Structure 1
Amino acid sequence: MRRLILAALLAATAPIAALAQTPKEQLMTAPAGARHYTISSTAGKHGDVWSWTLPDGRVAYRMSMSLRGWVTETDQVTTLDAQQRAIAIAIRGFTDVGGADENFSMDAGGVGHWKTSVDSGSAPAAGKRYNSYGGPWLAGEKDIEALVAAGPAGIDLLPTGHASIAIGKSVQIDGPGGAKTLKLAFITGYGFSPSPVWLDQNDRYFGNAGGISLLPEGFEAAGPKLKEIQEKATAEMVRDIAHRFLSAGNHSPTLVDNVLLFDSVAGKYLPNRAVLIADGKVAAVGGAGSIKAPAGATTVDGRGKTLLPGLWDAHQHVGGDWNLLQNLATGMTNYRSPGTLIDEGQDIYKRRAAGDLLAPDGKISVIIDRKDPLAAQGALTVSSEVEAIEAVRKVKAAGMWGVKFYTSMNPAWIAPAAAEAHRLGLWVHGHVPAGMRPLDAVRAGYDEVTHINFIMMQAMPQDVVDKANTAARLEGPARYGKDVDLDSPAMKAFYAELAKRGTVIDPTLTVWEPLMTSDGTAISPEYSPFADVAPPSVVRGWKIAGYPLSEGLTRDDYRKSFRKMVDVVGRLHDAGVRIVAGTDGYGLELVRELELYQEAGLTNAEALQTATIIPARITGMDGIAGSIAKGKNADIILVDGDVSKDITNLRHVELVFLDGYRLKGAELRAASGLSGMPK
Structure 2
Amino acid sequence: MRLPCLLTLLLCAASALQPARAADYVVLGQNEVAGHLRVETTADGRIETDYSYRDNGRGPDLKESFRLAANGAPRDYRGRGRSTMGAEIAEDFDVADARARWRSRADSGETPAGEDFVFIPLEASPGYYGALVSMLLAQADGSAATLGGLRIRAEVLARLTPDAATGPLALVAVTGADAQPWYYWVRDDATHALFAITWPSWAVMLQGSEALAPTLLARQQQAADERLIQLRQRLARPLGGVTLIRNVRWFDAPAARMRGPSDVWISQGRIDAVTEPGALRVLPERAIDGRGQTLLPGLWDMHAHLWSEDGLAHLAAGVTSVRDPGNDNAELQRLTGRIERGEVIGPHVHAAGFIEGKSPYSSRTGIVAETLDEALDAVSWYACHGFVGIKLYNSIKPEWVRPLTDKAHSLGLHVNGHVPAFMRAEQAVRGGYDELTHINQVMLNFVSRPGDDSRTLLRFQRVGSDAQAVDLSSPAVKHFIALLRERRTVVDPTLAAFEAMFTQAQGELDPTLGPVAGHLPVLWQRQMRVAPMDLDGEKLAAYRRSYAKMMGLTRDMHRAGVPLVAGADTTAGLGLHRELALYVKAGIPAPEVLRIATWNGARVAGASGQRGRIERGYAADLVMVDGDPSADIEQLRRASLVIQGQVAYAPAELYEAMGFKPFVGAPRMLVRPAN
Same fold (TM over 0.5): yes
Match for 1:565: what amino acid?
M
2:124 is aligned, of 123, 126, 135, to: 135
Q: Report the counterpart of residue 119 of structure 1 in structure 2.
A: 107
Q: Report the counterpart of residue 655 of structure 1 in structure 2.
A: 641
Match for 1:411: what amino acid?
P
Overall identity of the aligned pairs, in %: 32
Cα distance change of structure 1 residues 123 and 349 upon mapping to structure 2, 3 Å threshold = closer
* SS of equivalent residue, structure 1 residue 128: coil
How far did 1:664 drift? 1.9
Distance, in Å, in 2 between the alignment partners of 1:412 and 1:124 is: 61
Gaps of 5+ in 2: 1-18, 666-675
Distance, in Å, in 1 between the alignment partners of 2:429 and 2:418 is: 11
Cα distance change of structure 1 residues 45 and 678 upon mapping to structure 2, 3 Å threshold = farther
How far did 1:407 drift? 0.3
Q: Report the counterpart of residue 18 of structure 1 in structure 2.
A: none
Cα distance change of structure 1 residues 654 and 400 upon mapping to structure 2, 3 Å threshold = same
1:562 is aligned, of 530, 547, 560, to: 547
Contact 1:533 1:678 in 2 (8 A): no
Q: Report the counterpart of residue 417 of structure 1 in structure 2.
A: 404
Aligned: 1:223 with 2:213: yes
Cα distance change of structure 1 residues 207 and 530 upon mapping to structure 2, 3 Å threshold = farther
How far did 1:539 drift? 2.6
What RMSD, in angstroms, separates the aligned Cα atoms of the two structures?
Answer: 2.1
Cα distance change of structure 1 residues 242 and 56 upon mapping to structure 2, 3 Å threshold = closer
Aligned: 1:67 with 2:55: yes
Match for 2:89: what amino acid?
A
Q: Report the counterpart of residue 525 of structure 1 in structure 2.
A: 511
Contact 2:506 2:535 in 1 (8 A): no
Match for 2:508: what amino acid?
A
Q: Report the counterpart of residue 228 of structure 2 in structure 1.
A: 238
Q: Report the counterpart of residue 7 of structure 1 in structure 2.
A: none
Contact 2:300 2:322 in 1 (8 A): yes
Q: Report the counterpart of residue 315 of structure 1 in structure 2.
A: 303
Contact 1:100 1:135 in 2 (8 A): no
Distance, in Å, in 1 between the alignment partners of 2:140 and 2:374 is: 51
* SS of equivalent residue, structure 2 residue 334: helix
Matches within 5 A, 1:337-356: 337-356=324-343
* SS of equivalent residue, structure 2 residue 518: coil
* SS of equivalent residue, structure 1 residue 611: helix
Deviations 1:472-519 (A, max 9, x none): 111110111111112110111011101111111111111100111111
Distance, in Å, in 1 between the alignment partners of 2:658 and 2:604 is: 29
Contact 1:532 1:678 in 2 (8 A): no
Contact 1:273 1:288 in 2 (8 A): yes
Distance, in Å, in 2 between the alignment partners of 1:81 and 1:362 is: 47
Between 1:626-635 and 1:152-161, the stretch displaced more is: 152-161
How far did 1:427 drift? 1.3
Runs of at least 4 residues off by over 6 Å: none
Aligned: 1:287 with 2:276: yes
* SS of equivalent residue, structure 2 residue 141: helix
Between 1:67-76 and 1:554-563, the stretch displaced more is: 67-76
Contact 1:366 1:395 in 2 (8 A): yes
Distance, in Å, in 2 between the alignment partners of 1:352 and 1:71 is: 32
Matches within 5 A, 1:31-180: 34-42=22-30, 44-95=32-83, 96-107=85-96, 109-126=97-114, 127-158=116-147, 160-173=149-162, 178-180=165-167
Gaps of 5+ in 1: 1-30
* SS of equivalent residue, structure 1 residue 38: strand
How far did 1:234 drift? 1.2
Cα distance change of structure 1 residues 160 and 366 upon mapping to structure 2, 3 Å threshold = farther
Aligned: 1:643 with 2:629: yes
Match for 2:557: what amino acid?
L
Aligned: 1:265 with 2:278: no
* SS of equivalent residue, structure 1 residue 554: helix
Aligned: 1:204 with 2:193: yes
Cα distance change of structure 1 residues 662 and 65 upon mapping to structure 2, 3 Å threshold = closer
Between 1:589-598 and 1:72-81, the stretch displaced more is: 72-81
Aligned: 1:619 with 2:605: yes
How far did 1:134 drift? 1.7
How far did 1:663 drift? 2.2
Deviations 1:572-607 (A, max 9, x none): 111211110111123221111111111222111111
Distance, in Å, in 1 between the alignment partners of 2:69 and 2:136 is: 16
1:447 is aligned, of 395, 415, 434, to: 434
Between 1:601-610 and 1:668-677, the stretch displaced more is: 668-677
Cα distance change of structure 1 residues 463 and 138 upon mapping to structure 2, 3 Å threshold = farther
1:431 is aligned, of 404, 418, 426, to: 418
Aligned: 1:581 with 2:581: no
Cα distance change of structure 1 residues 641 and 149 upon mapping to structure 2, 3 Å threshold = same
Match for 1:490: what amino acid?
A
Contact 1:188 1:194 in 2 (8 A): yes
Pair member with larger Rg: 2
Q: Report the counterpart of residue 494 of structure 1 in structure 2.
A: 480
* SS of equivalent residue, structure 1 residue 130: coil
Cα distance change of structure 1 residues 352 and 135 upon mapping to structure 2, 3 Å threshold = closer
* SS of equivalent residue, structure 1 residue 415: helix
Contact 2:24 2:207 in 1 (8 A): yes
Contact 1:75 1:135 in 2 (8 A): no
Contact 1:130 1:159 in 2 (8 A): no
Deviations 1:24-82 (A, max 9, x none): xxxxxxx9984221221116222212121334332111122222222422211112233
Aligned: 1:183 with 2:133: no
Contact 2:72 2:132 in 1 (8 A): no
2:204 is aligned, of 189, 214, 219, to: 214
Contact 2:235 2:653 in 1 (8 A): no
Contact 1:131 1:159 in 2 (8 A): no
Match for 1:641: what amino acid?
G
Distance, in Å, in 2 between the alignment partners of 1:172 and 1:480 is: 55
Distance, in Å, in 1 between the alignment partners of 2:154 and 2:125 is: 21
Aligned: 1:473 with 2:459: yes
Distance, in Å, in 1 between the alignment partners of 2:404 and 2:161 is: 41
Match for 2:386: what amino acid?
G
Distance, in Å, in 2 between the alignment partners of 1:252 and 1:118 is: 54
Distance, in Å, in 2 between the alignment partners of 1:595 and 1:670 is: 24
Contact 2:311 2:346 in 1 (8 A): yes
Match for 2:336: what amino acid?
Y
User: TM-score of the superposition, structure 1-length normalised?
Assistant: 0.90
Match for 1:46: what amino acid?
A
How far did 1:330 drift? 1.0
* SS of equivalent residue, structure 2 residue 349: strand
Between 1:558-567 and 1:349-358, the stretch displaced more is: 349-358
Distance, in Å, in 1 between the alignment partners of 2:605 and 2:41 is: 55
Cα distance change of structure 1 residues 451 and 221 upon mapping to structure 2, 3 Å threshold = farther
Distance, in Å, in 1 between the alignment partners of 2:454 and 2:131 is: 38
Cα distance change of structure 1 residues 173 and 414 upon mapping to structure 2, 3 Å threshold = farther
Distance, in Å, in 2 between the alignment partners of 1:560 and 1:546 is: 17
How far did 1:179 drift? 4.1
* SS of equivalent residue, structure 2 residue 162: strand
Match for 2:66: what amino acid?
T
Distance, in Å, in 2 between the alignment partners of 1:151 and 1:471 is: 46
Contact 1:43 1:376 in 2 (8 A): no
Match for 1:229: what amino acid?
R
* SS of equivalent residue, structure 2 residue 173: strand
User: TM-score of the superposition, structure 2-length normalised?
Assistant: 0.91
How far did 1:160 drift? 4.7
Distance, in Å, in 2 between the alignment partners of 1:171 and 1:61 is: 27
Distance, in Å, in 1 between the alignment partners of 2:141 and 2:535 is: 44
